[in-house]
Amino acid sequence: MNHSSSVPAQRARPHDLLFIGVAQPFITGSPLPEWADRHWLNWAPAVVRRAAPTNPGHIPVGLRGRTRSQRFAAWVHESEVTALITPESLAHARSWQQYRYWMGFTAIRALHTLAPRLEGRAWGITGSVGFSLASGIRVLTQASDLDLLIRQPEPMSRDEARAILRRTEDLPCRCDIQIETPTGAFSLLEWARDTPRILVKNEHGPRLTTSPWARSCEGETP
């Protein structure tokens, strides 16, 4: 796993998990919610979110609690980050094998089944499963989806997307896979369909495009 005493803002990518260690450094526009107390933030990582850069060295993050409703957007300076864990490092280390007592959860069983089928791809674990594996704090439940990302710098055909989806059909829970490109992220399921325009999300917000790997507005339609 990746560890650093100072994490440059340009290195922290969406879905990376940042350990801060103390509660004070978060920059917010309003007070932290009650659930985001010192005890929780001393152990729970912040998740890098998509947002346009503002001040140099500031990383946009999302704080999460134990429930889906407990979410809070903030910023943190890169100098306050004590460790960084990427979704890919969780997959590469087969981190779920360290928590065999979690195998009763459908998302963990699905991950155990799917991992060998993604061999050879740059993929990672996100969402509640990734947060739980990175921190040891179990926020996943029996209703949790399995959220993954696949790094795909080069275009992927729709047939290839459909082939990946077929590998998820027998899983015991819903599997949501995001395709991460240099210009943004979009749903594998949406790309596998014959939808002409794809919703791509980046730090400037969502956009509809016919060319999700395009580096500009090329392929966008009104």
Reply yes or no on whether 145 is catalytic: yes
Sequence-distant (≥ 6) Cβ neighbours of residue 61 within 8 angstroms = 18, 26, 46, 47, 48, 49, 73, 74, 75, 76
Reply yes or no on whether 176 is catalytic: no
Residue 96 in contact with residue 140, Cβ under 8 Å? no
Sequence-distant (≥ 6) Cβ neighbours of residue 205 within 8 angstroms = none
Catalytic residue selected from 147, 159, 170, 194: 147
82/136 Cα distance (integer angstroms):
17
Catalytic residue selected from 145, 170, 176, 194: 145
Classify 169 as helix, strand or coil: coil
Q: Per-residue b/e over 84-117, b at no fewer than 16 CB within 10 Å?
A: bbbbbbbbeeebbeeeeebeebbbbbbbebbbee
Residues marked active site are found at: 145, 147
